[in-house]
Structure formats: structure tokens, C-alpha cells
Amino acid sequence: MTQKSSSKKKLLGVLIGGSGLIGGTLAHYFKTKTPDTIELRAPSSKKLSIRNAADIKDYLKRLQPDFVINTAIASIGADAQLALEVNYIGALNLARACAALKIPYIHISSAATLPNGENLTEEDTLAIEPKLNNYAKSKLMAEETMRFMHKTEGLDYTCIRLAIVYGEHDHKTQGFHRLFFSIADESMPVIFTKKKVTHSYSNANKFPYFIHHILTNREEFGGETYHFVDKNSVELADLILTIKSYLELKTPREIYVPYSVAIFGKKILEFILKGFSRIGIHGGLPAELMFLESFYKTQSLSAEKLANSSFVDPFPTETIYTKLPQLVVYYLSRWTHENMISTFNEDVLGPDTMSHDFEASPQELLDSVHLDSTTPFDDIVRR
């Protein structure tokens, strides 16, 4: 790293986008795993707006961090201006600030910058064209600018492309979790894909370990792009049916809807929603439906470059399939508590004696707490 950060002192980093799944996972990791060696600040948008160059310059100049990690993104359905300002201009201004301070810049990108196909490498990018959706276009432009600044300005950056991210503690129902929710809510009567269509998945739980590694091995990872994905891609239809089996549901039926029919249905729904908006009832389809074509086409990313690096997978046997039991319990519990879903078999979650007692016999619960659960915590008593 830089001369400043190569000393034995505690490193100070800045995380942009700490409220999302990836950002929140990173913040928790560095808070709990590296409290004595790395401190990570995650300013809110009120303190630092990525859309405001002055905010970026003032905050980083005042803090003088040793590195910056950018996980911030505009929603995939954002209009052109917001996608441009957050995904491209914001990333550009962060890179310019890092180049000036001569510190590493870790930029999180997306598989949306890649074409469809199998075993795609880090060099297989889309061409920048007007017809690209706002999300893919802005993320692709950011990648191109990082490479340009590395060559022309000496920017020490690492670009990491994520595929379909899975993990706990995502408070937005999007991506994989949107698919999971649709199955759990029994709002997916049939399967909107075809057999043997596969995609790559990225494990949020493993990701902070990779970030930690590349921060301490800048010579190897500086100026490089990596796909952070599980070794093996996953067949979408098989994953849907596996989730259905875990939840003990009857739907979706194993009926595969052709792409042409799916597109026609989408247009019908858009027409109906447009009609409702004229009488004051507003609604919209999930933004993920802009990628409906991807449900019917394979996009698997090569993990060979990652496997050949010095990074060692901390949980080599962990995949989307091995994580499903935990994800099922976490998300179904959360969605139930928030009254977002109620149609599934609650036995899947296992017994919850305390909540049952709270509903059925609160006085007995209160008495049991008073009997043996009100003593002060011994481990924080002042001596």
C-alpha cells in the first residue's frame, strides 16, 4: 500500500454504501474481525453524498483515510440521471480523490457489464452502446474509467464484479431475495425460465475476507479486475424447485413458460398498471424484470483468476445450496414479522416457544422471567 499505510499503525478506511447487503456485511466484518488493525468509517448520505464532488473532497481531505471501498449503487430501475450521478460520476469522483491522496480504491461492479454466455472471463465486457439499460451502461463506464485512470493517473484500484448476491441481513427485497420472496409468497405459479439455464452466484458472507486480503496485498491486486463468484454456476430452474421443496409448497408447478409468453405477459401487466395510474392507483413491476431475458439465457462467470490468486476461500464448501436452510429461516422470519408474507407452512421455521407463550400465556412467561432471568449481567458488572 502507500508509505502512509505500510507502517504498523491502525489503518483507516472509508466505506461508501454501508446500508446495503454488501456494505453492511463489510462494516460488520471489519468492526468484529479487525478492530485493532483496521477501522472502517461508513458515513451516511447526510455526511457524504456520492453525488456531490465537494462532499467527497471535503470528507476525504479531512479524514485522510488509507483506502476507500465503494459499494454504493443507484437502484437497478433508476432513471438515466440518477444512474449516471451515482454509478458513474460518483465512482469517478471517488477515484479522483483516491488518486490525489495516493490510496487504494476498491470499486464494486456487477455482472451486468458482461454479455450472456458460459465461463466469461474478466476481459469479456459489453460494448458501451445507447441501447444498454441505465444500470449496465453506468457500471460499464465506471469500469472503463478505472482502467483509464490506472494507466494515465496511476490510480491504485481493484474492480470486483459480483454476480447474483446471496446472504443474510439484506433489508431490500431484490435480486435473489426477490426470487425467493416470490416463491415463498406463492406468487410464482409456474417457472419463468427454461431448463439448463445457469447463472453465477456471489456469497456475501465470504466477500469481506476477500476485501481484507486485497487491501493487504496491493502489489498483486492493484490495477486488476476480479470475478468474485462461487466456483460452480447454478441452474435457475433447479434452484427454484429446491427452494419450493424446502418450503414444502405446491407452487411453482414444473411448467416452463416460453420467453415469448413471458414478454407478452409483462406487457399486459404494464398496460394494466398504466390504466390503474390514471385513476390514482399507482404500482409497478419489480425492476428486476428489465433483466427478464437473462432468466432465459446463461451467464456464468469464470472464477479461475480468483482461484489462481493468493486468496484462500475461508468457507470452500459453502454455496447457495448449503446456505439455503439459514436463508429460509432468516428471511421467512423477517417477512412474517413485517406482515409481508403469511402463506407458507410455519413449521418450516421450527418451534418458537417464547413467542408462543407471549401470545397464549403472557402471565406465565412473565412469571418465568421474574423467576430466573432478571439478574444483572455478570460479565459487565463493574468490579
CB of 116 closer than 8 Å to CB of 294: yes
Lowest mean pLDDT among 86-90, 105-109, 264-268, 283-287: 283-287
Q: Model confidence at 155, in pLDDT bands (50, 70, 90)?
A: very high
- Quick one: pLDDT at residue 290? 52
Range 114-131 average pLDDT: 93
- Using the predicted structure, report yes or no on whether residue 19 has a pLDDT greater than 90: no
Q: Model confidence at 143, in pLDDT bands (50, 70, 90)?
A: very high
- Quick one: pLDDT at residue 216? 93
- Quick one: pLDDT at residue 25? 92
Q: Which one-letter DSSP state was computed for residue 90?
A: I
Q: Model confidence at 374, in pLDDT bands (50, 70, 90)?
A: low
Here the cell at position 68 is: 476507500
CB of 40 closer than 8 Å to CB of 31: yes
pLDDT per position as a tens digit, 125-136: 999 998 888 899
Range 106-113 average pLDDT: 95
Q: How far apart, in whole angstroms, are the C-alpha atoms of residue 118 and residue 297? A: 10
CB of 254 closer than 8 Å to CB of 183: no
Cα atoms found within 13 Å of the Cα of residue 238, Cβ hemisphere only: 10
Closest to 105 measured CA to CA, from 73, 149, 71, 70: 70
Q: How far apart, in whole angstroms, are the C-alpha atoms of residue 82 and residue 45? A: 14
Residue that the C-alpha cell 456531490 belongs to: 52
pLDDT per position as a tens digit, 262-307: 776 666 655 555 665 665 655 554 554 555 677 889 999 999 999 9
The answer for residues whose C-beta is within 8 angstroms of residue 275's C-beta and 6 or more apart is none
The DSSP line for 92-161 is HHHHHHHHHHT--EEEEEEGGGS-SEEEE-TT------TTS-HHHHHHHHHHHHHHHHHHHH---EEEEE
Fold of 1-163+200-231: Rossmann fold (3.40.50)
| All structural domains of the chain with their residue ranges | 1-163+200-231, 168-199+234-297+317-348
- Quick one: pLDDT at residue 79? 85
Q: How far apart, in whole angstroms, are the C-alpha atoms of residue 142 and residue 301? A: 19
Q: How far apart, in whole angstroms, are the C-alpha atoms of residue 286 and residue 41? A: 32
- Quick one: pLDDT at residue 3? 45
Here the cell at position 277 is: 395510474
Range 308-336 average pLDDT: 87
- Quick one: pLDDT at residue 39? 93
CA angle 176-205-31, nearest 5°?
130
More confident residue, 246 or 12: 12
CA angle 25-28-34, nearest 5°?
120
More confident residue, 344 or 181: 181
- Using the predicted structure, report yes or no on whether residue 188 has a pLDDT greater than 90: no
- Quick one: pLDDT at residue 222? 94
pLDDT per position as a tens digit, 330-354: 777 777 766 666 555 555 555 555 5
Angle between helical axes of 320-337 and 176-184 (0-180°, round to 10):
60
Q: Model confidence at 261, in pLDDT bands (50, 70, 90)?
A: confident
Beta-sheet strand order (sheet of 117-120):
117-120, 299-301, 198-199, 234-235
- Quick one: pLDDT at residue 277? 60
| Residues paired with residue 228 on neighbouring β-strands, in sequence order | 162
Residue that the C-alpha cell 455526511 belongs to: 47
Lowest mean pLDDT among 24-28, 139-143, 200-204, 245-249: 245-249
Q: Which one-letter DSSP state was computed for residue 49?
A: -
Range 137-152 average pLDDT: 93
- 228-245 in b/e burial notation, b at 16+ Cβ within 10 A? bbbeebbbbbebbebbbe
CB of 252 closer than 8 Å to CB of 189: yes
Q: How far apart, in whole angstroms, are the C-alpha atoms of residue 319 and residue 383? A: 46
Here the cell at position 103 is: 490510496
The answer for residues whose C-beta is within 8 angstroms of residue 116's C-beta and 6 or more apart is 294, 297, 298, 299
